[in-house]
Amino acid sequence: MQDIMDNEERGYWRWSKRDFFPEESFQSFGSYRAALSQTCSRFKNRLVSRSDDENERFELKKQSEHEMKRCLTWWDLVWFGFGSVIGAGIFVLTGQEAHEQAGPAIVLSYVVSGLSAMLSVFCYTEFAVEIPVAGGSFAYLRIELGDFAAFITAGNILLESIVGTAAVARAWTSYFATLLNRSPNALRIKTDLSSGFNLLDPIAVVVIAASTTIASISTRKTSLLNWIASAINTLVIFFVIIAGFIHADTSNLTPFLPYGPEGVFRAAAVVYFAYGGFDSIATMAEETKNPSRDIPIGLLGSMSIITVIYCLMALSLSMMQKYTDIDPNAAYSVAFQSVGMKWGKYLVALGALKGMTTVLLVGALGQARYVTHIARTHMIPPIFALVHPKTGTPINANLLVSIPSALIAFFSGLDVLASLLSISTLFIFTMMPIALLVRRYYVRQVTPRVHLIKLIICLLFVVASSMGTSAYWGMQLKGSWIGYTVTVPFWFLGTLGIVFFVPQQRTPKVWGVPLVPWIPCLSIATNIFLMGSLGAMACKVWGLHFSHVTILFPAWSSCNIRHGSSANCAKILITMKTVKKCKPLKRNEVIHAGKHGDLNILVEHAIEEAEIWNKLVLESPGHSFQVTRAPRAEVRWLRPPLNMFKCNVHSSWINDTSMCGGSWIVRNHNGDAVFHAREAFLPTTNRIASELRCFLWALQSLKNLHFEDIEIWSDCAAAIEAVTDPMNWPRYHTYLDKISRITPGFHKVFFKLASPKANSVARDIAKSVTRDGRLRSYLAIGGPAWLHSEP
C-alpha cells in the first residue's frame, strides 16, 4: 500500500530502475546470480503455475495504479469490430482468390472462413464475459493453461503488434498514393540502402504517431473517431455492393466451381485473414460498462454482419465480371472500369484507406491493452502497465508498440514476416478453444485425476487428428480422400470421448459457448487446418520463432516475481511458526489480534486461511437471504430509509505483512452513529478475504446487538460480487458459507457498493490498525460528531 502511495506522489512519468525491474533479482549482481542458481526449480514451478480469475480481475489491476475508464457500450464494440476487421483485405484477397482458386464460388469461401472465424469468436466471447480484463487471450491462457502458454502467447502478441502495425501503415501510404492517382511507391523516399530497405516511408511514421496519439488521449474519443471512419467505409462498401449488383450478369457465375471443392477450401484458408482483428474487442472488456451484455453483442453481432457483407461483396464482384477476367491485383478497380465506372477505383482506394485507418486506430487500443496486462504480470517491465490518471489510458504501453513499429515502417514493412504473423494469430486462436475446454472440464483440486487424464487423451486425439488432416491436405493429392477416412473419425472419437467420459465441471453463469465440446473442438480443427495451409516454409519460420521465445522462458523464470497464492501460504505458515515460539502474553501482538489469546484458535484460523488457498469447490450452499447490489457505487454518503440501518464496513490490508484491520459504523435514518467498532484480525491472504472477514465480524456483532433490517455498504467491489454470486468465488467458500448461515438471523440484509469517498470514515478507522498500530479492539455506543456523517 505504501508503494502505491509513493508511486502516486511520484507521478506517471518516471524512469528509475525499480520502475523497470522492481524484482529483488535485479537489485544487484549478487542477487541476480543467486536467482540464476535457482532457475531450474523456478522454471519447473512456472511451467505448471496457473493464475485464477480473481487475481487477473482484481489483484493484477493494482499494478496499473489507476483504473481504465468504463465508457464503452455494445454500440461502440460493434463499431470497434468493424474497424478492427474490415481493412484492405477484402479489396485485395477477393479478386486474387476468385481468379486463381475458387472462381464464382469465392462467396462459399467467405462463408466457410466466416463460420470458422465465428467458432473462435464464440470462445473469445465466453472468456471475455467471465474474465473482463484488458489482457484478452493472454489473460485467458494464463488462467487455464499456465504461465508457459501465456509467455508464448505474449511473444506472439508483441511480434504481431509491432510488425503488423508497421505493415498496415506502409500499406496506408500505398493506397494514399493510389488515391492521388500515383504509383504506390511515389510518396516514398528512394535511397541507396540494400533492397527491401531502400524505400523510406515517413508518411507511415506520421500515421502511426497520429493513431497512437488519438488512442492515448481518450478511449471514448477514439471510439467516436472509429465510428465515423467505419461509417464512411461501410457506405463505400455498400456502394460497391449495390453498383456490382446493378451491373451484374448472372452468366458470369457459370461455371460456379471451376476449380472444384478443393479450390473453395484453399481460397477459404486465404480469405480467412480478412476476418482477423476481432480479438481486439475482447481487450476492451475492462473499459466496457456492462461486459456481460455488451461483449456478446459487440463480438457476435459485428462478426455476423461482417460475414454477410463479405459474402455480398464477393458475389457482386463475381457477377460483375467473369472470374477469368478478374484482375488479381486490383479486382474492384478494374471491374468498375469494365462497366464504364473508371472513377470507381478512387472509391475503392478511399474505402481501403478508411479501412486501414480504423484498423490502426482499433489496433492501437487493443495492442496497448494486451501490453498493459502482460506488464502487470511482470513478463515485461511493469512500467508499461501504468494507466495515466487523467486520460485513463495506458500511454506507456502505446509507446512500447508504436515506437518500434514506426522504426520498422520507416525502413521496411518486413513483408517476409507476413506469413509468420498469420500463423502466430492462428496459433493463439487454436490455444483459445483448448483453454475453454480445460476451463469447462477441469477445476484444480476438484476434478479427479482420472478425469484429467481422460481429458488430456481426448484433446490429444483432437489435436493430432486435426494436424493429420491439415498435413494430408497439404500434400495436394487430388481426388484422394483415403487419408481423411482415418483422420476425421479420430477427431470424432476425441470429441465423443469428452462428451461421454469427461464430466463437465463448470457452467458459465451469464453467457457460454453452445454445443460444448463440439464447437471448441471444431475450432481447433479449423485453425490447425488453416495453419497447415500456409505452407511448410511459414511453419518452419514460426517454429524458429517459437523456439526463441521458449528459450527466453527459463530466463524470465529466474526472476523472483511474486505469485499471490504461494506467497500468502508461506506467510500463513510463518505466522503459525511465530505464534508457537511466542510467549502467551506476546501472542496477541504477533498476530495483531487483541482478543485471540488461545493458541488452538490461532492455529485453527491459520489452517482455515491455508485451506482457502488450497481447496476449491464447485458449489456453495444456497443462500437463504436476498443479496442486492447497487448498479453503481454510491458516490457520496446518503441516509438510509426509515426503519433501516446503514452499516459502512471497511478492512485495511497490508500486502507485505498480511496485517489486517477492520471497522464498521452503523447509522440510523437521521445519519446519527448508533454504534461503531474496530478490530485487529489475524493475517489474511488478500484484500478480498480481509473484506469478507470484516463482513462476517460486522454481521455477528449486529446480530448480537439485535439489529433486524440492515444495509452493508463496502467499497470493495470484489467482496460484494463474491457475496452476490458465491458459486463463482469458490476460493472464499469458508467465509461465504459462514455469511450465508448468519444472515437468516436478520429480517432484511442488503449488500451494496459504496465509493471510497462515501466510505472514508470507516476506512480511516480501519487504517488506524495497519498504519498506526492501534491493535486494541473496541465496540462503542454512539460516537463523536465526525462519526455522524460521511463527507
Q: Please tell me the distance from the alpha carbon of residue 545 to that of residue 652, in angstroms, as a whole number.
A: 46
One domain for residues 576 and 472: no
One domain for residues 206 and 340: yes
One domain for residues 753 and 650: yes
Q: Could you give the C-alpha distances from 95 to 271, 330, 344, 415, in angstroms and in order?
A: 10, 7, 15, 20
Lowest mean pLDDT among 35-39, 169-173, 715-719: 35-39
Q: Among the ranges 68-77, 173-182, 584-593, which has the highest mean pLDDT value?
A: 68-77
Q: Please tell me the distance from the alpha carbon of residue 61 to that of residue 38, in angstroms, as a whole number.
A: 28
User: Sign of the C-alpha dihedral, residues 481, 487, 491, 492?
Assistant: positive
- Output the domain CATH number for residue 753: 3.30.420.10
Mean per-residue pLDDT, 765-784: 78
Domain boundaries, position 665: 645-787
Q: Say if CB 294 and CB 74 are below 8 A apart.
A: yes
Give the pLDDT confidence of 647-668 residue by residue, as tens digits.
Answer: 999 998 886 566 788 999 999 8
Give the pLDDT confidence of 71-119 residue by residue, as tens digits.
Answer: 999 999 999 999 988 877 787 788 888 988 889 999 999 999 999 899 9
The residue from 417, 452, 485 where one domain ends is 417
171 — pLDDT class (breaks 50, 70, 90) = confident
Per DSSP, helices labelled H in 412-483 are 418-441, 449-474
Mean per-residue pLDDT, 538-558: 79
Closest CA to 430 of 520, 366, 499: 520
Q: Say if CB 66 and CB 392 are below 8 A apart.
A: yes
One domain for residues 80 and 199: yes
Residue 397 lies in a domain: yes
Residue 8 lies in a domain: no
- 431 phi/psi in degrees, rounded to 5: -70, -30
pLDDT at 327 over 50: yes
One domain for residues 202 and 311: yes
Residue 635 lies in a domain: no
Residue 628 lies in a domain: no
One domain for residues 578 and 655: no
- Output the domain CATH number for residue 152: 1.20.1740.10
Give the pLDDT confidence of 696-713 residue by residue, as tens digits.
Answer: 999 999 988 888 889 999
596 — pLDDT class (breaks 50, 70, 90) = very low
Q: Say if CB 652 and CB 767 are below 8 A apart.
A: yes
pLDDT at 442 over 60: yes
pLDDT at 370 over 80: yes
One domain for residues 523 and 609: no
Residue 469 lies in a domain: yes
Q: How many residues does the chain have?
A: 791
One domain for residues 412 and 449: no
pLDDT at 303 over 60: yes
One domain for residues 295 and 395: yes
Residue 52 lies in a domain: no
Total number of domains constituting the chain: 4
695 — pLDDT class (breaks 50, 70, 90) = very high
One domain for residues 363 and 217: yes
The residue from 598, 614, 630 where one domain ends is 614
Predicted local confidence at residue 29, as pLDDT: 77
Q: Is 748 helix (H, G, I), strand (E, B) or coil?
A: strand
Per DSSP, helices labelled H in 256-299 are 260-271, 279-282, 291-296
Share of the chain above pLDDT 90, in %: 32
One domain for residues 295 and 211: yes
Give the pLDDT confidence of 599-637 residue by residue, as tens digits.
Answer: 444 444 444 444 443 443 333 333 334 444 444 555 677
Residue 317 lies in a domain: yes
Q: Please tell me the distance from the alpha carbon of residue 105 to that of residue 111, in angstroms, as a whole number.
A: 10
Mean per-residue pLDDT, 507-532: 91
One domain for residues 666 and 554: no
Give the pLDDT confidence of 457-500 residue by residue, as tens digits.
Answer: 999 999 999 999 988 887 766 556 788 888 999 999 999 999 99
Residue 327 lies in a domain: yes
